[in-house]
Amino acid sequence: MSAKRLIVCGGNGFVGSRICKYAVARGRSGEPKWGAVGPSATPPPWARKVSWERGDVLRPASYAPLLKGADFVVHSLGILLEADYKGVVSGEVSPVAGLRRLLGAAPPAAAAAAADRPTYESMNRDSALALAAEAAREDVSAFAYISAASGAPGLPARYLSTKREAESVIASRFPRMRGLFLRPPFLYDSSRPVTVGMAAVTGLGAAFNGFTRGVFGGFMGAAGIKPLKVDIVAEAVVEGLGDDAVSGPLEPPEIEELANKYWRKSML
């Protein structure tokens, strides 16, 4: 993917920052808070090869000029819960405070601010459609969208339905732009310790699902699928964008296969 221009919307996030890392290694809204996405608050060497820009994904005018001349665009934004769950997993918000928010027991000031929180529709669907429209307008050759493998017990159905809507609309509305819709399961990394524990629980669920031959798979959703390290998804995105034969929905096994291809090429 040498001499290619890659735009990652959400490049300062858990998945997006890794996509930038592996894109740089392959030869390609502001800079991340490095302590929240990695083991150190100091920017890693590869970050100096990335141009960090700020923008509002729901306001195309704030980023449209950045798409000019781009070969590939990635949408790695999204929310799992309509509350500050990312603050919990990154360590910026205590689990107790996070639970209080999820259960509606937030203090008055937080409750008043809830109206301004992102929703599944705005973040998982509308932001992707807005970005895809701008990418198509600039004749970007491929667009990668980080979707999800499934929902999970207790998770609102809108979490998954908005992602599937985004996939469907992007594929049908912009047929000239190769669409890659990665559907990862639960993602984890040691930089966010709480995700490691959650991955262990999810792993047990996946083992149980395999033992029962998927009888409870429909109910368990993502809780019954083997979790993946976030780097695997990032490697798969970079590899998939560089292969014209890769398009459409990509389930966990296909994501792992693409990541393995990336790894093998990096060893050459």
8 Å CB contact between 7 and 67: yes
Domains and their CATH numbers in the chain: 6-82+118-189+229-267 (3.40.50.720)
In the chain (268 residues long), the average pLDDT of successive 10-residue segments reads: 78 85 68 53 62 79 92 91 55 47 47 63 95 97 96 84 97 98 92 79 68 54 79 96 97 97 82
Tokens (6 digits) for 134:
């701008």
Please give the backbone phi and psi of residue 8, each rounded to the nearest 5 degrees, phi first. -115, 110
Cα dihedral 149, 98, 125, 23 sign: negative
CA distances 81 to 52, 118, 166, 189, 197, Å, are 27, 9, 17, 19, 18
The 10 Å Cβ neighbour count of residue 95 is 11
**Within the chain, how many helices (H) and strands (E) appear?**
11, 7
Q: Could you give the CA distance from residue 178 to residue 257 in angstroms, rounded to a whole number?
A: 19
Cα separation, 234 vs 259, whole angstroms? 8
The two three-digit tokens of residue 135, written as one number: 């990418």
Q: What is the pTM of this model?
A: 0.77
Q: Which pLDDT belongs to residue 4?
A: 84
> Would residue 73 be called left, alpha or beta, if left means φ above 0 and alpha means ψ between -120 and 50 degrees?
beta
Q: Give the pLDDT confidence score for residue 76 in this predicted structure.
A: 93
pLDDT value for 39: 59
